[in-house]
Amino acid sequence: MRSSYHEELDGIIEQLVHMASLVETAMHDASESLINADLTKAEAVISGDAQLDALHEELEYKCLSLLALQAPVAGELRIVVSAIRVVFEFARMGDLAAHIAKIARLRYPEHAVPKDLEPNFIEMARIAEQMVQLAKTTLSEHDAEEAMKLAKVDADVDGLRREHFQVILDENWQGTVEDAVDVALLGRYYERFCDHAVAVGRRTIYLVTGAAPTGEDWPNA
Amino acid sequence: MRSSYHEELDGIIEQLVHMASLVETAMHDASESLINADLTKAEAVISGDAQLDALHEELEYKCLSLLALQAPVAGELRIVVSAIRVVFEFARMGDLAAHIAKIARLRYPEHAVPKDLEPNFIEMARIAEQMVQLAKTTLSEHDAEEAMKLAKVDADVDGLRREHFQVILDENWQGTVEDAVDVALLGRYYERFCDHAVAVGRRTIYLVTGAAPTGEDWPNA
């Protein structure tokens, strides 16, 4: 029994890493659907989100069963409690990738991102993908130092958001109200996606060290 | 020891209800600051958010200590696990109230909400407040039936959001790009606030019945 319990614990981490890969693909495809106005990719992200939601339910149930049946302590308790939070974060990240794909679908065959803000969103997409990769690596390698990088990278997202607000609120900007609303909401979705990646890092640090970092570098995501 | 443990469990529920009251006040004041362009109220909500974040940390720590030291099972395990999720939901609701207050502060002494959308946001504010009250009551009275109402009320928020998008995207609308961006983001904040209230209801049902409701009525908040 005890040994199958340890297998289950290892299995949880593996499934979290698997969930991270699914989120990575979802965000990659969502950004492509947005930048290239690719309807097929957008549809794939939107319909694929159900898989992440199902994994969320399944893993949360598994963690709660472990808590109830095995009453883990110390480091093992930390793994289960962290896992409950991390599955939630990944599920939300999947939802946000789907929100981005839905805006791409809504504007198809037009591009949702105005031409002059394309570089801004390409960079935003690059950072979002980098962050989910960092989160995945820190999780699979239990590396608290790697996790600390997440908060640093996240600061760049805030800079990109300020930049696109400057563009759309400039009185000489040529975009429509609809363009501006899309940009504002897309920016919000990318920002929240990255906040959740930071939260995964925060939980990983807790998992590894037993202490959650606090302070300004760690936004409450 | 066992008796102080039960006191601690009761204490957790009491503190959750206290947190709900703080969130209710925060949202009430945030909406007032927004509708009346009231800078003092906006500042109060923004600075008051630190208290909710501190309560989040404190309660989460308390729950994890209980899990580690007491290894609760069955209904008691459900209380602790639900509490971990509910404190998180309330902390996010506090953040969202602060986001609303920040937009009110940014536009002061102007009104962030365009005149023609004031009734829409007054109704949105009323529903948000009603939802946090429902969440609080279901939590304090462990009433799963009351919690079911949350998902029903939440549907009205989606209707209000569709309505204000119709207004700002109408080609004859007189508002500026800035107005439209504010409306889109404010709508998103109210919507997410209400989603989190639904999630509190969902967790309360789990707490009471041991089974989380699934299906269309229960958005993954």
Of A29-43, A203-217, B66-80, least confident by mean pLDDT is: A203-217
- Pick from B32, B20, B23, B21: nearest CA to B121: B32
Tokens representing B43 are: 């500042």
Structural domain contains residue A124: yes
Peptide bond into A114 cis (omega under 30): no
Tokens representing B139 are: 């939590």
Q: Which residues of B110-138 are buried (b: 16+ CB within 10 A; e: fewer)?
A: ebbbbeebeebbeebbebbbbbbebbbbb
Structural domain contains residue B215: no
Task: Determine the pLDDT at residue B220.
Answer: 42
| Contact between B205 and B211 (Cβ < 8 Å) | yes
Bigger pLDDT: A194 vs B212: A194
Residues 4-33 of B with CB under 8 A from A: none
Of A10-24, A127-141, A200-214, least confident by mean pLDDT is: A200-214
In percent, how much of chain B has pLDDT > 90? Answer: 65
pLDDT at A117 over 50: yes
Q: Which residues contact B121 (CB under 8 A, 6 or more apart)?
A: B31, B34, B35, B113, B164, B186, B190
Task: Determine the pLDDT at residue B200.
Answer: 93
The three-state secondary structure class of B194 is helix
**Residue A212: which pLDDT band, with cuts at 50, 70 and 90?**
low
Average pLDDT, chain A: 89
Number of domains in chain A: 1
pLDDT at B218 over 50: no
Which 8-state DSSP code applies to residue B112? S
**Residue B1: which pLDDT band, with cuts at 50, 70 and 90?**
very low
Task: Determine the pLDDT at residue A67.
Answer: 82
The three-state secondary structure class of B197 is helix
Q: pLDDT tens digit string along B93-142?
A: 999 999 999 999 999 999 999 999 999 999 999 999 999 999 999 888 88
The three-state secondary structure class of B131 is helix
Place of tokens 């004859």: B172
pLDDT at A204 over 60: yes
**Probe site for chain B from A106, A181, A206 (most B CB atoms < 10 A):** A181
Q: Which residues contact B151 (CB under 8 A, 6 or more apart)?
A: B198, B201, B217, B218, B219
What average pLDDT does this structure show over A176-180?
95
Q: Given B56, B74, B169, which is nearest A178 (Cβ)?
A: B169
| Contact between B23 and B52 (Cβ < 8 Å) | yes
Structural domain contains residue B218: no
- A74–B67: do the CB atoms touch at under 8 Å? no
Residues 92-131 of A with CB under 8 A from B: 95
pLDDT at A3 over 70: no
Min Cα–Cα distance to chain A from B178, Å: 6
Q: pLDDT tens digit string along A38-48?
A: 999 999 999 99
- Pick from A67, A93, A70: nearest CA to A82: A67
Distance in angstroms (rounded) separating the CA atoms of residues A34 and A105: 8
In percent, how much of chain A has pLDDT > 90? Answer: 65
Q: Does B181 reach chain A within 8 Å, measured CB to CB? A: yes
Task: Determine the pLDDT at residue A75.
Answer: 81
Enumerate the residues of chain B whose CB falls inside 8 A of the CB of residue A68: 73-74, 77
Structural domain contains residue B54: yes
Go through chain A and tell me how many residues it has.
221
What CATH number corresponds to the domain at position A92?
A: 1.20.58.220
Rg (CA), chain A: 19
Q: Which long-range contacts (CB under 8 A, 24 or more apart) does B157-160 make?
A: B157/B124, B157/B127, B157/B128, B157/B190, B157/B191, B157/B194, B158/B191, B160/B120, B160/B123, B160/B124, B160/B127, B160/B187
Q: pLDDT tens digit string along A13-58?
A: 899 999 999 999 999 999 999 999 999 999 999 999 999 999 998 9
Enumerate the residues of chain A whose CB falls inside 8 A of the CB of residue B169: 177-178, 181
Peptide bond into A72 cis (omega under 30): no
Structural domain contains residue B33: yes
Tokens representing A181 are: 């609303």
Bigger pLDDT: A202 vs A167: A167
- B169–A177: do the CB atoms touch at under 8 Å? yes
Of A113-127, A190-204, B144-158, least confident by mean pLDDT is: B144-158
One-character DSSP codes across chain A: -HHHHHHHHHHHHHHHHHHHHHHHHHHHHHHHHHHTT-HHHHHHHHHHHHHHHHHHHHHHHHHHHHHHHH---HHHHHHHHHHHHHHHHHHHHHHHHHHHHHHHHHHTTS-SS-GGGHHHHHHHHHHHHHHHHHHHHHHHHT-HHHHHHHHHHHHHHHHHHHHHHHHHHSTT----HHHHHHHHHHHHHHHHHHHHHHHHHHHHHHHHHS----STTS---
The whole domain housing A199 covers: 2-209
Structural domain contains residue B220: no
Structural domain contains residue B202: yes
Min Cα–Cα distance to chain A from B72, Å: 8
Distance in angstroms (rounded) separating the CA atoms of residues B179 and B107: 10
Tokens representing A163 are: 């930049």
Neighbours of A109 (CB within 10 A): 6
Structural domain contains residue A194: yes
pLDDT at A219 over 70: no
**Residue B91: which pLDDT band, with cuts at 50, 70 and 90?**
very high
Complex confidence, ipTM? 0.84
Task: Determine the pLDDT at residue B143.
Answer: 79
